[in-house]
Amino acid sequence: MAMAASAKDWSRTMTSAAGAIYGAVRYTDKSHLSLVDVMGYTGHAFRLNIDPKQVNAAGPTSFPGGYILRRNLCNLGFISCLADAATPIAPEKLERTISLVQQSLDRGVPAIAWDLFIPEFGLIYGYDDEKQLFHGKDVSKDGTLSYAEFADAKGIVFVTTISESYRIPSTKCFAWRWT
89-113 CB burial, b ≥16 within 10 A, e <16: beeeebeebbebbbebbeeebbbbb
Asked whether 160 and 73 are in contact (CB, 8 A), the reply is: yes
Q: Which amino acid is at 6?
A: S
Calculate mean pLDDT across residues 4-18.
Answer: 72
- Please check the confidence at residue 30 and state whether its pLDDT lies above 70: yes
For residue range 31-69, what is the model confidence (pLDDT) as tens digits? 999 999 999 888 888 776 565 665 555 555 555 566 788
Q: Find all residues with CB under 8 Å of 173, minimum gap 6, and list them.
A: none
Calculate mean pLDDT across residues 74-94.
Answer: 80
Q: What is the band of 107 on the pLDDT scale with cuts at 50, 70, 90? A: very high
Domain 15-167, CATH class in plain words: alpha beta
Distance CA 19, CA 36 (A): 10
- Please check the confidence at residue 132 and state whether its pLDDT lies above 80: yes
Asked whether 78 and 166 are in contact (CB, 8 A), the reply is: yes
Distances in Å between the Cα of 131 and the Cα atoms of 128, 135, 145, 146 are: 6, 11, 10, 8
Calculate mean pLDDT across residues 70-90.
Answer: 81
Which residue ranges make up each domain of the chain? Answer: 15-167
pLDDT score recorded for residue 153: 61
- Please check the confidence at residue 177 and state whether its pLDDT lies above 50: no
pLDDT score recorded for residue 6: 54
pLDDT score recorded for residue 115: 85
pLDDT score recorded for residue 152: 74
